Amino acid sequence: MPKYVIERELPGAGRLTTDELKGISQASCGVLSNMGPQIQWVHSYVTGDKIYCVYIAPNAEMIREHAQKGGFPANVVNEITTIIDPTTAE
């Protein structure tokens, strides 16, 4: 199944408290639970003003649907075509 990286513009994301991040995570998981097992949240990276999320889903439309239902931005949705790491150099 395809894997996606989602860029969410959220000013001040890096200053969100643990409780605020927990609330966002709970909202996301609640929406995912209602959408079924086809869409999965892998993990997210929080930066100064953005959150980058990695999801597994059958298509980008499902990613956008999740964002709309959860009330979070999904400013950019890109399918991951390849993953590289230091072992790629070997």
Round to whole Å and give the CA distance between 57 and 72: 17
> Looking at residue 89, what is its pLDDT?
95
Round to whole Å and give the CA distance between 82 and 25: 26
> Looking at residue 79, what is its pLDDT?
98
> Looking at residue 4, what is its pLDDT?
98
> Looking at residue 25, what is its pLDDT?
96
User: Read out DSSP for 39-83?
Assistant: -EEEEEEE-SSEEEEEEE-S-HHHHHHHHHHHT----EEEE----
Low-confidence ranges of the chain (pLDDT < 70): none
Contact present, 47 and 5 (Cβ < 8 Å): no
Domains and CATH numbers, the chain: 3-89 (3.30.70.3090)
In this prediction the pTM is: 0.92
Question: Containing H/E element for 26?
Answer: helix 18-35
